[in-house]
Amino acid sequence: MLTAAERYSKLIKEEAKRLGFVFCGIAKAEFLEEEAPRLEKWLKEQMHGEMHYMENHFDKRLDPRLLVDDAKSIISLGFNYYTADLQKDKDSPKISRYAYGMDYHTVIKEKLKSLLHVMQDEIGEVGGRAFVDSAPVLDRAWAKRSGLGWIGKNSNLINRQQGSFFFLCELIVDVALAYDVAATKDYCGTCTRCIDACPTEAIVAPQIVNGSKCISYLTIELKNEIPDDFVGKMDNWMFGCDVCQDVCPWNRFAEPHQEEAFKPHPDLLEMTKQDWEEITEETFQRVFKKSAVKRAKFSGLTRNIKFLGNR
């Protein structure tokens, strides 16, 4: 006979699957002792570049009980965004797959809220918060603790069945649940394809990425001009970068997502190199309505396109 915690966990995983999440795991809310020195060293070595927000809430990043009162469980979920569809013009500046459709923050946050409402209806009084890459939560650490996969050499979480083309998110709740076994095996083995393929050599060691050299950082997070050091090294990416995932052998198992909201604007994949170089703010607003690309703003995207022209 199942315990109450086991019944609740079964309910949560079934509902998560119904909502479209590709997997769901649960870990006990506690201090991330193993991650503390790693995070401290990464910040001290300035690998976060101008992402100064990474320096804030150090304690909260390591202890979810400081984010949610009486937190007992972390529910980690993965949502697939992989698509085999690519931009038609091979010479056009490239956009990372995750930004093809609607902003994932909005889409997934609604699904997490639905999951929390079901928990409240079925379990009773449940307090909690939904997190989608927008608060001081170490997503990959919790996903690993929840048994969803291991941290690859490119620092992404990799799952044996799905690869790594998925968003990570969490519900931190104040109810005790049945906890999954943490992933302990690293299936990367001796493979170094992601390290070897990184255009800017941002993966400085297994599981350590110098964020200030990462193309995703340079094209999205960096608000100043892209340093001349990176001329000719951007691999034609104007927003984000998929290189370390594209070369990962585990992503041969990635399957196309079924989320309508993640389908690209009809014009996005058809735009030519010339279209991008001549893009107007009106076109930007139309093609990227409700898109994560708006984080870069029109000025940021055109800065990136212009920089690619220097190669």
pLDDT in tens, 54-90: 777 788 889 999 999 999 999 999 999 999 999 999 9
pLDDT digits (tens, 9 = 90+) for 4-53: 999 999 999 999 999 999 999 999 999 999 888 888 888 788 877 777 66
Neighbours of 5 (CB within 10 A): 16
Long-range (24+ apart) CB contacts under 8 A made by 258-262 are 258/20, 258/80, 259/20, 259/79, 259/80, 259/81, 259/101, 259/107, 261/101, 261/102, 261/107, 262/81, 262/83, 262/100, 262/101, 262/102, 262/104, 262/107
- Residue recorded with tokens 């992989």: 82
- The domain in which residue 26 lies consists of 1-311
> Rounded to 5 degrees, what are φ and ψ at 280?
-105, 165
- Give the whole-angstrom CA distance, residue 133 versus residue 174: 20
Residue 41 or residue 112, greater confidence = 112
With beta carbons less than 8 A apart as the criterion, state whether 98 and 105 touch: no
Query: Which among 57, 76, 77, 75 is positioned nearest to 67, based on CA atoms?
Result: 57
Averaged pLDDT for residues 275-295: 96
Q: Are strands 150-151 and 157-158 parallel, antiparallel or unpaired?
A: antiparallel
> What is the rounded distance in angstroms from the CA atom of residue 100 to the CA atom of residue 102?
7
Look-up: residue for tokens 């949502």? 79
**Residues labelled as active-site residues:** 133
Query: Domains in the chain: how many in total?
Result: 1
Q: What pLDDT, on the 0 to 100 scale, is given for residue 59?
A: 85
